[in-house]
């Protein structure tokens, strides 16, 4: 292969994703439809519950062309809204995102909504429309934009501003894409259903092209605590990040940079790190040699006396929210949620939450495992279930026999992992990798919930057994009473019959511990044949 | 129908007994005690042979049947149901049989279980169940079913110089023609008016009874002649017992010469295992087995031959002391007659014999290798204590050795005259019987 004369051209990120759209989940009209809805709903929820706002999210999908499979998708939220100057870049430049800071959110790559715009442009050629306002604004802003693919720049086609006549804040986004609604419908409904399980505090309404209305009403006003922005933990950085930090802080000393850029590093720790690396703390970044940067990086990575990563950047759902959510959808007879304490892997904090829902309207499981509902940073994971570490724990690490459970059963297990960095397998973001620290936490969380399930099932079995035992006695009460009354020559005395029956019921109730009314109901059901 | 006076008295006594017993039960439970019936256990393990009284009696074990015990609740209900049915029949002047009682109490009981299913069962399904609670009530109330006016099929018959009052009628049992008086199911209601007899002869076989009757045996010998027609029922046993007890008449029992015949004799004498609670009223401890014995057929020489065999004497001495010191006697049959009358014992007979005297006697005396191997599974059977006397062991030993049995009818084959005028009188006169 000849390299001489070979031409290397750089392409813009927008162009890159335009060409390789399957990477972001836009491979075909079915996946693209699903992905578009998912991105827009994720954004709507991020703009609300992550900021302490109880979400009201309305999604409408309408047929936008009589001949072609064009659909107009409009998602409205009551979130914090966007500043007008940010709007063109938030929707019109790939990789611009508010999501690069160290805090938990639904999306992470900053790609989602821009891929939607690109996909719309590519299939229908119609621009995106954005209407937004923030709480203290007096105006509502409107944009119609597209992306210049080569330059990776937003192109504003139309803009406008109105005075607010009512106290509204939030964002309304409309895109028109080509999609295969018939085949995407089930996936989209499933996604919405899964999302609603963990958002009992949200009102979510979907209007389909057939004018069907799917509505999940709010059942609690409890919101998970919003995440706070944090500096990265020193164990969580890579060499490129370190170089970027050094470049961006050229006029500070190394000590100042370490202290101001990382959590868990004060001036004494900074001094220890720099002296271990053999670097003068007062040196400025530009005075560092390449090997010194490498050495500093290794020292930071190998130092083991930091406090664990702060968990304030995380926003676990909490037991109350999980239980309210599962109750809303499944109305189970048994429900138990666990929210574990924060842990970390490779400098990234994470929290595992798990819940078991048993009976009621909980769906019937397959033959060999419970129904598994997986979530990462509040996003439901629907595909690639078999490769997910959560599934592996459920199938391999938990001995369900031990918890008095055999399958199929009306048993669903919900696992939510939140982290500043979810270790996904691949860019599909549908499956979580097997990280030992995470696997262990998942196992412990499920075991805790399963123990409660076992206690519940054991108690239920005991109660049922007690009832069975009492039944074998209580069913004979009428016959015994009748016989005794014949012998006492009192058989036509209704009062005596009532009194004696009641005496026997009380006696059986006292001996068995089963309440009088239960014994009584068995007795009342007895029929003596001729 | 006008009931007789004894009948009316018996009814009101039974009604009072049942009512007061269950009234007490209700009162006890009102005081906070368990609702439970307490009565002697009617099981094989609680059936003991009283060596002194020489009868089978119920042991000291007591059974508690509590309504709130899930394993006993149904039986408790059945017991009360049966008590109420019997109570009603007594009140209504009825005379039910145990089969009637079974049908009267059999009905469905249905209920709705916790999981919403309707479950139905019967108060009882088989007569075995209702019969069992009748026996329970007998021991619970300490009263025989006859006194509860429960009837059974009449099986036993009697003739002889005997005048009785049954109900409101006086009956002379010497004036029954070719027929006989069927012993009523409630023999305690019989009043003996006149008894003129030397002894009572109980014959197992109805056919033999009829022959002796027509032959005039009882008139000639002043005998009360009774037949149980096979396994004796309660009424026959009670009737015989009353004659023995109230008139001190000796009782002789004439049965087939096989283990079944021997057992029928023992039922008269010591009682039966299933009805051991009634032995005190039904058994006749002085009853004697007049025949037919194996020594009547074979004489005693044959036994001496068996004793000479290796280890037999020692084995039998261990089972019962003094077996080698028994007296000797001649057979009643000639070798020729023996050959004609005797039949071969079946495995069933051998097994029954093992139950009577135990496996060791069978092992020591059995010659047939076929039977020997087949009874191997009875190893460990030790026999009934009342059969482990030198005389009975000798009988059974000859039985095992010869595997022969003989029906009484065969003796009449030698001539009814021989049986009536020679065999029976001679045996009684010479005291040739087994106790």
Give the CA angle between residues B144, B146, B148 to the nearest 5°: 80
Say yes or no for a CB contact (<8 Å) between A473 and B35. Answer: no
Say yes or no for a CB contact (<8 Å) between A479 and B35. Answer: no
Nearest CA in chain B to A513: B68
Say yes or no for a CB contact (<8 Å) between A487 and B112. Answer: no
Whether B23 has its CB under 8 Å from any CB of chain A: the answer is yes
Task: Check: CB of residue A32 under 8 Å from CB of residue A177.
Answer: yes
Q: Could you say which of B68, B107, B113 has the minimum Cβ distance to residue A471?
A: B113
Say yes or no for a CB contact (<8 Å) between B68 and A503. Answer: no
Say yes or no for a CB contact (<8 Å) between B84 and A486. Answer: yes
Whether B26 has its CB under 8 Å from any CB of chain A: the answer is yes
Q: In what order do the strands lie in the sheet with B181-182?
A: B181-182, B157-159, B223-227, B199-203, B251-254, B288-291
In the predicted model, what is the mean pLDDT of residues B109-135?
91
Whether B430 has its CB under 8 Å from any CB of chain A: the answer is no
**What pLDDT score was predicted for residue A290?**
87
Separation of alpha carbons A35 and A479, rounded Å: 69
**What pLDDT score was predicted for residue A111?**
66
Whether B74 has its CB under 8 Å from any CB of chain A: the answer is yes
**What pLDDT score was predicted for residue A100?**
39
Nearest CA in chain B to A521: B112
Does this complex have an ipTM over 0.85?
no
**What pLDDT score was predicted for residue A247?**
82
Say yes or no for a CB contact (<8 Å) between A472 and B74. Answer: yes
Spell out which residues of chain B touch residue A515, defining contact as CB-CB under 8 Å: none
pLDDT greater than 60 at residue B205: yes
B95 catalytic? Reply is no
**What pLDDT score was predicted for residue A5?**
43
Tens digit of pLDDT for each residue in B61-117? 888 999 999 899 999 999 999 999 999 999 998 999 999 999 999 999 999 887 788
Q: Could you say which of B29, B70, B109 has the minimum Cβ distance to residue A473?
A: B70
Whether B215 has its CB under 8 Å from any CB of chain A: the answer is no
**What pLDDT score was predicted for residue A107?**
65
Nearest CA in chain B to A500: B26
Spell out which residues of chain A touch residue B70, defining contact as CB-CB under 8 Å: 469, 472-473
| A528 Cα to chain B: minimum distance (Å) | 5
**What pLDDT score was predicted for residue B115?**
78
**What pLDDT score was predicted for residue A7?**
54
Q: Within 13 A of A337's CA, how many CA atoms are on the CB side?
A: 20
List residues of A whose CB lies inside 8 A of any B CB.
464, 467-469, 471-476, 479-480, 482-484, 486-489, 500, 503-504, 507-508, 511-512, 522, 525-530
CB-based contacts of A317, cutoff 8 Å, min separation 6: A198, A224, A325, A339, A353, A378, A416, A418
**What pLDDT score was predicted for residue A3?**
43
Spell out which residues of chain B touch residue A482, defining contact as CB-CB under 8 Å: 84
Spell out which residues of chain A touch residue B26, defining contact as CB-CB under 8 Å: 484, 488, 500
Tens digit of pLDDT for each residue in B142-177? 888 888 999 877 789 999 999 999 988 999 999 999
pLDDT greater than 60 at residue B361: yes
Domains and CATH numbers, chain B: 5-148 (1.10.10.10), 157-291 (3.40.1360.10), 294-405 (no CATH)
Could you give the maximum distance between any two Cα atoms of chain B, in Å?
Answer: 78
In the predicted model, what is the mean pLDDT of residues B252-281?
88
Say yes or no for a CB contact (<8 Å) between A484 and B30. Answer: no
Separation of alpha carbons A64 and A67, rounded Å: 9
Give the CA angle between residues A427, A431, A436 to the nearest 5°: 110
| A480 Cα to chain B: minimum distance (Å) | 6
H-run or E-run covering A170: strand A170-178
Whether B18 has its CB under 8 Å from any CB of chain A: the answer is yes
Q: Name the pLDDT band for B339 (thresholds 50, 70, 90).
A: confident
Separation of alpha carbons A418 and A294, rounded Å: 31
Spell out which residues of chain B touch residue A511, defining contact as CB-CB under 8 Å: 68
DSSP code per residue over A361-399 = TPPPP-SSS-EEEEEETTEEE-S-GGGSHHHHIIIII--
**What pLDDT score was predicted for residue B220?**
93
Marked catalytic residue, from B103, B111, B359, B401: B103
Say yes or no for a CB contact (<8 Å) between A480 and B18. Answer: no
Q: Which residues of chain A have pLDDT under 70?
A: 1-11, 13, 17-18, 95-102, 107-111
Tens digit of pLDDT for each residue in A204-236? 999 999 999 999 999 999 999 888 888 888 888
Task: Check: CB of residue A472 under 8 Å from CB of residue A514.
Answer: no
Q: Within 13 A of B227's CA, how many CA atoms are on the CB side?
A: 21
**What pLDDT score was predicted for residue B2?**
53
| B160 Cα to chain A: minimum distance (Å) | 43
Bridge-based pairing state of the strands B251-254 and B288-291:
parallel
**Interface with A, mutate which of B21, B65, B73, B113 (most A CBs under 10 A):** B73
Spell out which residues of chain A touch residue B30, defining contact as CB-CB under 8 Å: 503
Domains and CATH numbers, chain A: 13-216 (3.30.565.10), 234-302 (1.10.8.50), 319-456 (3.30.230.10), 475-525 (no CATH)
């Amino acid at each position: 292969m000849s390299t001489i004369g070979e031409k290397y051209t750089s392409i813009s990120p927008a162009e890159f994703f335009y060409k390789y759209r399957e990477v972001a989940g836009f491979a075909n009209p079915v996946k693209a439809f699903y992905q578009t809805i998912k991105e827009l709903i994720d954004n709507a929820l991020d703009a609300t519950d992550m900021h302490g706002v109880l979400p009201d999210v309305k999604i409408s999908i309408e047929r936008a062309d009589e001949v072609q499979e064009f659909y107009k998708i409009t998602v409205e939220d009551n979130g914090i809204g966007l500043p007008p100057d940010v709007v063109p870049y938030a929707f019109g430049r790939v990789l611009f995102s508010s999501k690069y800071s160290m805090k938990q959110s639904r999306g992470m790559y900053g790609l989602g909504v821009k891929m939607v715009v690109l996909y719309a442009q590519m299939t229908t050629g119609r621009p995106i429309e954005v209407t937004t306002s923030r709480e203290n604004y007096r105006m509502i802003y409107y944009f119609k934009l597209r992306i210049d693919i080569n330059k990776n720049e937003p192109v504003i086609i139309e803009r406008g501003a109105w005075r607010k006549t009512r106290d509204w804040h939030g964002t309304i986004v409309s895109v028109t894409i080509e999609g295969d609604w018939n085949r995407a419908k089930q996936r989209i409904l499933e996604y919405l259903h899964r999302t609603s399980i963990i958002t009992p505090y949200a009102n979510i309404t979907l209007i389909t092209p057939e004018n069907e209305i799917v509505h999940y009403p709010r059942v609690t006003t409890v919101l998970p605590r919003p995440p706070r922005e944090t500096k990265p933990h020193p164990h969580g950085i890579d060499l490129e990040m370190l170089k970027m930090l050094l470049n961006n802080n050229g006029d500070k000393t190394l000590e100042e940079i370490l202290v101001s850029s990382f959590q868990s590093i004060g001036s004494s720790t900074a001094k220890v790190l720099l002296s271990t690396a053999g670097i003068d703390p007062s040196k400025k970044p530009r005075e560092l040699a390449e090997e010194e940067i490498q050495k500093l990086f290794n020292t930071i990575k190998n130092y083991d006396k930091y406090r664990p990563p702060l968990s304030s950047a995380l926003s676990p759902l909490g037991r109350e929210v999980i239980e309210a959510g599962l109750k809303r959808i499944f109305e189970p007879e048994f429900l138990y949620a666990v929210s574990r304490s924060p842990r970390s892997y490779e400098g990234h904090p994470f929290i595992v939450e798990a819940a078991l829902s048993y009976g009621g309207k909980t769906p019937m499981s397959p033959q060999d495992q419970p129904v598994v509902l997986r979530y990462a940073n509040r996003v439901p994971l629907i595909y690639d279930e078999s490769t997910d570490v959560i599934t592996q724990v459920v199938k391999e690490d938990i001995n369900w026999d031990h918890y008095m459970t055999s399958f199929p059963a009306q048993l669903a297990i919900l696992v939510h992992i939140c982290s500043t960095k979810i270790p996904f397998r691949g860019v599909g973001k549908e499956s979580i990798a097997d990280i030992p620290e995470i696997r262990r936490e998942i196992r412990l969380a499920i075991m805790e919930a399963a123990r409660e399930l076992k206690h519940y099932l054991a108690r239920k079995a005991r109660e049922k057994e007690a009832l069975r035992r009492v039944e074998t006695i209580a069913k004979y009460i009428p016959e015994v009473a009748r016989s005794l009354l014949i012998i006492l020559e009192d058989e036509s005395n209704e009062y005596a019959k009532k009194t004696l029956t009641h005496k026997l019921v009380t006696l059986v109730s006292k001996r068995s511990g089963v309440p009088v009314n239960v014994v009584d109901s068995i007795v009342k059901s007895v029929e003596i044949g001729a | 129908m006008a009931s007789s006076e004894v009948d009316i008295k018996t009814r009101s006594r039974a009604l009072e007994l049942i009512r007061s017993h269950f009234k007490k039960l209700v009162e006890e439970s009102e005081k906070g005690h368990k609702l439970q019936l307490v009565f002697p256990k009617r099981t094989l393990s609680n059936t003991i042979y009283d060596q002194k009284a020489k009868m089978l009696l119920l042991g000291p074990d007591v059974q508690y049947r509590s309504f709130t015990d899930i394993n006993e609740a149904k039986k408790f209900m059945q017991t009360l149901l049966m008590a109420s049915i019997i109570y009603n029949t007594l009140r209504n002047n009825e005379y039910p049989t145990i089969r009637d009682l079974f049908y009267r109490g059999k009905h469905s009981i249905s209920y709705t279980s916790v999981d919403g299913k309707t479950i139905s069962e019967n108060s009882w399904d088989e007569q075995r169940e209702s019969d069992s609670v009748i026996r329970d009530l007998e021991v619970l109330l300490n009263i025989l079913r006859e006194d509860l006016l429960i009837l059974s099929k009449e099986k036993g018959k009697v003739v002889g110089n005997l005048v009785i009052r049954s109900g409101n009628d006086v009956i002379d049992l010497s004036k029954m023609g070719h027929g006989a008086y069927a012993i009523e199911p409630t023999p305690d209601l019989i009043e003996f008016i006149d008894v003129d007899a030397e002894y009572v002869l109980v014959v197992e076989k109805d056919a033999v009874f009829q022959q002796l009757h027509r032959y005039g045996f009882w008139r000639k010998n002043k005998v009360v002649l009774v037949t149980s027609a096979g396994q004796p029922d309660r009424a026959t046993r009670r009737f015989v017992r009353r004659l023995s007890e109230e008139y001190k008449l000796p009782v002789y029992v004439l049965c087939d010469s096989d283990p079944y015949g021997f057992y029928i004799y023992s039922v008269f004498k010591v009682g039966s295992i299933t009805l051991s609670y009634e032995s005190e009223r039904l058994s006749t401890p002085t009853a004697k087995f007049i025949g037919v014995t194996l020594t009547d057929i074979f004489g005693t020489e044959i036994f001496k031959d068996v004793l000479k065999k290796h280890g037999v004497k020692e084995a039998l001495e261990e089972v019962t002391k003094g077996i080698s010191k028994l007296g000797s006697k001649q057979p009643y049959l000639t070798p020729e007659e023996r050959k004609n009358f005797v039949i071969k014992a079946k495995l069933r007979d051998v097994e029954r014999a093992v139950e009577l005297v135990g496996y060791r006697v069978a092992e020591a005396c059995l010659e047939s290798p076929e039977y020997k191997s087949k009874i191997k599974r009875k190893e460990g059977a030790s026999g009934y204590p009342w059969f482990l006397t030198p005389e009975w062991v000798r009988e059974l030993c000859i039985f095992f050795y010869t595997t022969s049995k003989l029906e009484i009818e065969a003796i009449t084959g030698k001539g009814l005259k021989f049986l009536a005028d020679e065999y029976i009188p001679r045996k009684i006169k010479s005291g040739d019987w087994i106790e």
